[in-house]
Structure 1
């Protein structure tokens, strides 16, 4: 195998797939990237056996072939070369020589025959939607996914499809983020899938805000996306997502309206002296006033007072400040509402003028 490629082309391709490559692998080959050279094109594949990314780069192919090379080492070599560099790669026995100008590198390689591929993706529902729509739905919800929870089905994001809409939901058991968009889908019946956390994180990184149409295939075990120049395939989490609609407050009696940025800044200030382990902040609501309070184990205290629109019953309630900041950070409108039924009830946050997204935060004792 021998090919010549421009640095910018192979660097872009490596940066696209590198997120799948784990630094610590039980199988050495999984720290590699599979490079196939044929028809004046390189095909780069990376996988962790759960998620697979395939992308392409133009190249001049002197001798076609395929080989697995250390992904991060090759990426670092390409990063270190000049912007306009031309790179030549040649397979020499069990090693690949990488040459650019007077720079020469020799990398250990593994056989392409040993490359592990994902299970065959069975046919399923296929939908088409704007790239920016999926990006927006994920941006508004992915932060609420659990991390390494024993309830494995929470370590991912629910993708729910109906004939008239697409919905994304994430929860870690203490908070919930839901966002949906109207979409005319040609599907036979409503369907749901739980996309693993790592796959969602990679999608957030890879998706752009273009209006280009992308295709999503959803089967019982896999989700596949075809993006411009990229094929994305992930296994799905086999489990039952909780009945999330049950925890969304349906008729809270008390509602506060306030400027989003003002509350975010006040929460950030108050959080400086909150308990580092629990991150709790106390909200005291009275007529047209919100008081924020926090304290830590060193008995340090923070207090802030903001004028808001509120005429409900006076109330004190504690929340994890990070959960509130994450929800507010996912909004784009200038004002939002916080709806509460009582001091022991969940809080419902919504942006004014946008009823497509809802955020639920459980209260905490302070």
Structure 2
């Protein structure tokens, strides 16, 4: 195999590959990227057995062939090469080495046989549809903060993507929760997605998918089966196993009877929470919200480190209410608001609060209160 490729093109392809491979693994081949050169392009394939990414890049192929090499090492080399360099990758198929040349730099890397590289079994996808990159980006970006990190409740370690009944009919919906907070984001249902099975997309896959969704003009081909999900652009294909488990009935957690309405400038609110939380003990990070007519007082009282208080002018016309929340959860939810105003709906100091952006109900967040 011998090919020449532009450094920035190679870097983009290899960086996607090296972020998928597991740093600590007992199977050496999984640390490698499979390079396949043919025609006028080269394919880079990497996997951790749960996710597989395939990146196609244009290249001048002098000699077709395939080999595998350490993804992290290759990425580090390419990253440190000068911008605009033309990189030559060559492998004679007998020495067990891949040479990387650019200008006066020359590297020789150990390879492993391409036959040992595991290729993810292709699945029969029951649902295939296309979605705009900004729509998918919004669905996953606004929900991923609520993904649970508790390994014991593995079915919460991802974003639940499914078809649901919304206000205007069927919607494509993403939900994530860790039991303390919940995010439910709706988007219009793409053509062909009606019969999509509900799947839990793992946290790592959500992170890798984000890199495919940078281009606002791009359409992403989405394929879903009971066990796998695949996202494709013209050059990159990301295939992932889905979490094998049942996502809990989240609709029971979303409060319906909250009537006390607080409207506040989202950015001002987030900044105020951040400021008063500076003195709180890291462990609890509890912030108390005291609501009175058109007035909100945020306070923290941490006996060992100090106290803080800040007042905000808000729109609130209901009876007085005092309620406490984890500062980190409040900040994460407030930072999801793209519009100017955040609307909180409360019931009592012991009930979960609901938050949305202005009158928009396509993004709804729930946060559980804390005792303060």
Question: Does TM-score exceed 0.5, indicating one fold?
Answer: yes
Q: Tell me the CA shift for residue 188 of structure 1.
A: 5.6
Which runs of 5 or more residues in structure 1 are unaligned?
none
Q: Tell me the CA shift for residue 330 of structure 1.
A: 1.1
CA distance in 2, matches of 1:350, 1:44: 42
Does residue 69 of structure 2 align to residue 63 of structure 1?
Answer: no
Match of 2:351 among 328, 345, 355: 345
CA RMSD of aligned residues (A): 1.5
CA distance in 2, matches of 1:112, 1:96: 13
The corresponding residue for 1:19 is 19
Q: Tell me the CA shift for residue 184 of structure 1.
A: 4.7
The corresponding residue for 2:181 is 175
The corresponding residue for 1:281 is 287
Does residue 314 of structure 2 align to residue 308 of structure 1?
Answer: yes
Match of 1:261 among 264, 267, 270: 267
Match of 2:127 among 98, 114, 125: 125
Measured at CA, do residues 149 and 319 of structure 1 come closer, stay the same or move farther in structure 2, by a change above 3 Å?
Answer: farther
Q: Tell me the CA shift for residue 191 of structure 1.
A: 2.9
Which runs of 5 or more residues in structure 2 are unaligned?
none
- Larger CA deviation: 179-188 vs 119-128: 179-188
CA contact (8 A) 1:281 1:292 kept: yes
Q: Tell me the CA shift for residue 32 of structure 1.
A: 1.1
How many positions carry a matched residue from both structures? 366
The corresponding residue for 1:239 is 245
Map 1:1-366 to 2 at 5 A. Answer: 1-92=1-92, 93-162=95-164, 164-187=170-193, 189=195, 191-296=197-302, 298-366=304-372
User: Helix, strand or coil: the match of 1:150?
Assistant: helix
- Larger CA deviation: 210-219 vs 138-147: 210-219
CA contact (8 A) 1:333 1:353 kept: no
User: Helix, strand or coil: the match of 2:262?
Assistant: strand
CA distance in 2, matches of 1:40, 1:186: 33
Instruction: Please report the TM-score for the alignment, with normalisation by the length of structure 1.
Output: 0.96
CA distance in 2, matches of 1:339, 1:277: 26
CA contact (8 A) 1:127 1:217 kept: yes
Instruction: Please report the TM-score for the alignment, with normalisation by the length of structure 2.
Output: 0.95
- Larger CA deviation: 205-214 vs 168-177: 205-214
Measured at CA, do residues 219 and 320 of structure 1 come closer, stay the same or move farther in structure 2, by a change above 3 Å?
Answer: same
